[in-house]
């Protein structure tokens, strides 16, 4: 199974056989977005066009395979940036047609979950997954009934962010602190020498949100505003936004994000009676997010599975993994007029 991912700023191509990752390559256009402080869709689309064939070549080389060895093609059909998705889907269609093999359109969010089979060989029968990236923040209920990794995967959305994604919040706070884009890694580095209890940043949702009906939704815009106010107040008092102040804000902000993510994830797992928590998305790179989630999972007797970072961020392997699961389940193939869907739900 050859998998193609192009929903945001990463062009990913991978080859898998069942639950075995044979080779994968990723090209990122992140450097081209730096001066805009965020992903520019048109730039991302063009970068995918340029990167796709070289990335495909690299993935094949790593797998010791040629396109003639490909039995099926999976591609992210959504959710994601419209133009970016189109590039991957057009390439996948052309490949499937030229090689006369089945085409499978897959859901990007479900693929973030499915990637776990490449690490663990199988998905647990039931689990709760937390996906945290620059584009999305979701809590999912995951069922893989056979528990073998080839069972029909059923994913239900438990909650999501109502405003900023967790990674986006890191990126915006970084900007407030004068740190470069993408902000996550810079905020993490600054936080290392800061005091996580220096500022009591808000953790909750607004009272207007019905928390009884949607206990697993997230909101990060209030937190970002609280950071902005703190920075303003500091400036008005004549302070410079640097050194220990930046470190303390970064640490306190990271603590607030990690606390909310861990608290809701653990309570979702407990409410649903599952034993396993899956973590995915670029924010899984954050040491405090991973660390606090691990701590709270252990205290609650939950197993935490975090794929290696290169499989947490967007990549082709997760798409190929889900494509292989779907094909093994007798799902698909998708028609050659497969449409992209930027707002595709789970």
Per CB under 6 A, residues contacting ligand KG4 are: 8, 133-135, 167-168, 170-171, 182-185, 188, 281-283, 285-286, 313-314
- Alpha-carbon Rg for the chain in angstroms: 20
Q: Which is nearer to ligand KG4, 70 or 254 (CB)?
A: 254
Does 314 participate in binding Zn ion (rule CB under 5 A)? yes
Provide the b/e sequence for 159-172 (b: ≥16 CB within 10 Å). bbbeebbbbbbbbb
Q: Which is nearer to ligand KG4, 92 or 312 (CB)?
A: 312
Count of Cβ atoms closer than 10 Å to residue 318 Cβ: 34
Give, for 300, the enclosing helix (H) or strand (E): none
**Dihedral, CA of residue 302, residue 218, residue 313 and residue 316, to nearest 10:** 100
Does 10 participate in binding Zn ion (rule CB under 5 A)? no
Residue 184 contact among Zn ion, ligand KG4, none, beta carbon within 5 to 8 Å by kind:
ligand KG4
Does 254 participate in binding Zn ion (rule CB under 5 A)? no
- Could you tell me which residues come within 8 angstroms of residue 135 by beta carbon, excluding any fewer than 6 positions away? 7, 8, 80, 165, 167, 168
Q: How far is the CB of 299 from Zn ion (least distance, A)?
A: 28
How far is the CA of 60 from the CAs of 23, 128, 168, 333, 342, in angstroms?
7, 33, 33, 23, 28
Count of Cβ atoms closer than 10 Å to residue 155 Cβ: 19
Please work out the total of residues on this chain that contact Zn ion, with binding judged by CB under 5 A.
2
Q: How far is the CB of 133 from ligand KG4 (least distance, A)?
A: 3
Q: How far is the CB of 281 from ligand KG4 (least distance, A)?
A: 5
Binding mask 96-135 for Zn ion (x = CB under 5 A): -------------------------------------x--
Q: Which is nearer to ligand KG4, 15 or 318 (CB)?
A: 318
Q: How far is the CB of 281 from Zn ion (least distance, A)?
A: 6
Q: Which is nearer to ligand KG4, 161 or 286 (CB)?
A: 286
Q: How far is the CB of 85 from Zn ion (least distance, A)?
A: 12
Residue 248 contact among Zn ion, ligand KG4, none, beta carbon within 5 to 8 Å by kind:
none
Report how far residue 67's alpha carbon sits from residue 56's, in angstroms, rounded to the nearest whole number.
Answer: 9
DSSP class of residue 319 equals: H
For the segment 324-343, give every residue that binds Zn ion (CB under 5 A).
Answer: none
CB 267 within 8 A of CB 215: yes
Residue 282 contact among ligand KG4, Zn ion, none, beta carbon within 5 to 8 Å by kind:
ligand KG4
Annotate 50-73 with DSSP letters as a single string: HHHHHHHHHHHHHHT--GGG---E
The residues of the shown chain that bind Zn ion, judged by CB under 5 A, are: 133, 314
């Amino acid at each position: 199974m050859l998998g193609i991912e192009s929903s945001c700023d990463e062009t990913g191509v991978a080859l898998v056989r069942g639950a075995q990752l044979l080779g994968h390559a990723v090209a990122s256009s992140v450097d081209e977005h730096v001066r805009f402080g965020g992903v520019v869709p048109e730039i991302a689309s063009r970068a995918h066009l340029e990167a796709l064939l070289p990335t495909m070549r690299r993935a094949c080389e790593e797998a010791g395979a040629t396109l003639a060895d490909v039995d099926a093609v999976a591609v992210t059909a959504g959710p994601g940036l419209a133009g970016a998705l189109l590039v991957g889907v057009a390439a996948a269609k052309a490949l499937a047609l030229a090689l006369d093999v089945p085409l499978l359109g897959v859901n990007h969010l479900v693929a973030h979950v499915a990637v776990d089979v490449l690490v663990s060989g199988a998905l647990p029968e039931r689990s709760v997954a937390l996906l945290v990236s620059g584009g999305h923040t979701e809590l999912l209920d995951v069922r893989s009934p056979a528990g073998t990794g080839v069972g029909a995967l059923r994913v239900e959305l438990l909650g999501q962010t109502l405003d900023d994604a967790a990674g986006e919040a890191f990126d915006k706070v970084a900007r407030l602190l004068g740190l470069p884009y993408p902000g996550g890694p810079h905020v993490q580095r600054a936080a290392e020498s800061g005091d996580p209890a220096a500022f009591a940043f808000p953790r909750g949702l607004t009272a207007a949100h019905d928390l009884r009906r949607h206990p697993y939704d997230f909101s990060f815009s209030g937190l970002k505003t609280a950071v902005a106010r703190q920075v303003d107040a500091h400036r008005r008092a004549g302070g410079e936004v640097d050194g220990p102040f930046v470190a303390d804000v970064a640490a306190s902000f990271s603590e607030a994000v990690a606390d909310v993510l861990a608290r809701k994830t653990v309570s979702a797992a407990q409410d649903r009676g599952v034993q396993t928590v899956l973590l995915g998305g670029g924010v899984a790179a954050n040491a405090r997010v991973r660390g606090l989630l691990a701590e709270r999972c252990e205290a609650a007797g939950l197993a935490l599975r975090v794929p290696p970072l290169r499989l947490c961020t967007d990549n082709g392997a997760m798409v190929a993994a889900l494509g292989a699961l779907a094909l093994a389940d007798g799902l698909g193939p998708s028609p050659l007029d497969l449409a992209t869907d930027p707002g595709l739900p789970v």
